Structure 1
C-alpha cells in the first residue's frame, strides 16, 4: 500500500510539473532533499508509575514544492521521508522485578504540508504550515528484558510485524520555518530552508500480540499493557531545493539579419532613413536631435534609470539626475510627451494597475515641479498588461518594471 501511495504522489507531482512547464511557471516548482532529527516519545494512556522515555532518529527524504497564485503566498509540498519512532518503558512487573521495554519502529512517511508564506518565495520568506501525515511501518524491533535479583534475563528481539504492530499510522504536524534564496549564477537560484514541527498521532499503535504477551512468549500478567499508545514527535530539519527553471537553458538571442539596399544616386540630397526601434535610450534621442532627425513617435524606455521601492510609488533620489535630463530634452523645442507606467506580474492585476498609475503620476509631478509646462505632458498606465519580455526570471521582471516616455511631437 505504501508503494502505491508513493507512486500516486509521484504521478501527481509529474502532472503538476508538466502543466506548469506549459504555462511557463518553472520557477514556481522546486524539487529538493531534506534531512534532520526526529525526537519521538510515544504517549501511553495508562502505564501507572512506569518511567516512559523516547528515542531520537535521523530523518531524510525527498519532496516537490509548488507555489500557488500570482503572489505565491500559498505552497503545497508533497514529500516522502524515512525515519524511526519509538519509546522506552522501565518499571516493576507484578513479581517485583525490574523490566525494560524498548520499541523502535521504522516508518515511511507520506506528508503533504500546506504552507503559508509571509513573503514572496523569491525573497527571504518565513512560513507556517499544517500537514497530514500518512505513515507505513517498514519493520523494526521490540526488546524486552527482565532483571531478577539484578541479573539480566534477556528475551529474544522481536520484529514489530510479528507483534501485530499497527502497519499504518495517521497523524498531523504543525510547523514553522524560513526559506532563503541563494543566487548561484546569473538569475538562477537554489533555496535553503530550516524548519521545526510538532507531530500528533491519532492511531493506536498497539498490536493484540503485544497486549496479551504472546508477542514475546510471556503471560499477560507479567506486565500490564492497557489503554492506547500513540505517536508524538518533535522534529527539526533542513532542506535544499532547486526550481525547474534552473534546468532550462537560456536561449541566446540570434542576430536578426538586415537588408541594406544599394545606394540610389539622385540629383537631390538623400536623407538616410533611421531604422525604427521599439525603445530608445535618452542619449540616442539627444543624438537624433543633434543630427536634426525627427523624434516624433519614438519612445524612451527607462528600465534601470528610474527606480522605486518595492510596491511603492515614490521616485528614488537616484532617479532625479535622469529625470532632470528629460527636462533638458523638453527644453530643446516644443516637445509634447506622454509618460507610461508599467509593472511586472508580481501581485494582483488590480494592484499592479493602481501601482503603475501612481508611479506615472509621480514622474509627471516631478517634471511639472521642475518647470515643464503641464500642457506638454500627459500620462497613462498599464499595470502588467504590456510586458516587453518574459516575467519568468528576475531579470525579465526588472525589465518589465519600467517607465516609458513617448514623444508625441517636437514641433
Structure 2
C-alpha cells in the first residue's frame, strides 16, 4: 500500500529510456480466424509513405483473434470484386478476404475503397469508401481496422485510440530525463508531451480524450497538472503541502478526484475544476488512495487498507456510504472499470504471493487471474473493454504487457532497452 503512494521514489531507481514500443503477440485465442489482407492498389504517381494494408493486417493480427495469410502465400492480388476467385482463397484456408484500392482526390487527400468478403459463403460482408491525408495514412489504416474488427466480431474497434505512458533516460549518475509520451495504440508514432529532469506519474485521460492529468515533480514536490492535447497548454490545478497524487477524471470532465495528505493522512478528495471547490471524500485513519470513477459518475472507487490489507472500496455520492468491493486475496489495488461498469480490473495478490492482473465480475463476484508473472501493476482498460494493458517485468526490464479480459490473448509491448511504466489507454477518439 505504501508502495502505491510513494512509487515516485521507486521509479527514480530504474534506468529508463524513451523509445518506440513494439507489439509482440505471445498468446492468441484457441481458434484464430484466417484472414487475407491483400495489398491495396495505389492509383497515383508518387508512392505512398505507408503500406496501409500492412498496417491493417498487423492491427488485426495483434489482437490475437485473427491469423493473417502471408503475402507470399497469396495466389492472386485482386483489387476489385471482378478479380476475386473464391476457390483460390478456400485453397489457402482463408475465411475472410479484404481487398482495396487507393487514389488521389486532390491536394494531400487520398480515397480508399475497400471490401470485406466471407470466402466460404462467397458474399460481401461490407464495402466502404473512406478518405484521409497522405501524411496521416496510419490514421486511415486504424480507422479501416476499426470497421473490419467490428464487422467481424461485433465489438467496436479501438485501433484509433492512443496510449499515454512514462519513460525515462539515464544521463549519468543521479541524472535522469523523464518523458510523458503519447503514441498510437500499437506504440507507433510516439511523441513527447512533457520532458523533465524530475519524475512524472499517473497520466489519466479525460473521458472525451482532450486532456491529460498527471503528477509532476518539476517544482521538487508533487503537483497535479492538466494538459490540453490540442494546444499543448498546461496548468497546475493543485499543489498542497504533502502528497498531491493519483488524479482521476469524472465522466463529465468537470471534476478531478485526487489523493491529498494536506490534513496529515492520505485521503481522497474531489476538486471541481470550475469553482475550485474541494470536497473531502474519505476520512479514515487508514491510507486511502488510487480513486477512479464509475462510468455513470454516481460513485467513486478507491484503494484502502482500512480493513487490514489493501482492498478496493466504493463510495456512493448520493448516500455517502462506503462499501468494500474486493474480498478474495490479501491485496487488491489500482482498480479500473470497463465502460459498462461490469468488470473491475486490478492488481491482485493471493496465496501465491505474486502481484498479478485480475478481473472481477461485479455482477456475480467471480474473480479471474489473467496473468502469470510476478510483478504486474498499473492496469488500464481499452475503451471497448476487450484488453487490459499494464506494466510488468521482462527479465530485468520493465515493459508494457496486455491481456484480453478473458485471459485468452496476451501480448507484450517492450522497448529496445530500458523500462516503461504508467500506461493509460485513451477513450474512443472519434
Compare the two structures and name the one with the higher helix fraction: 1
Structure 1 length normalisation: TM-score?
0.19
Structure ID, larger Rg: 1
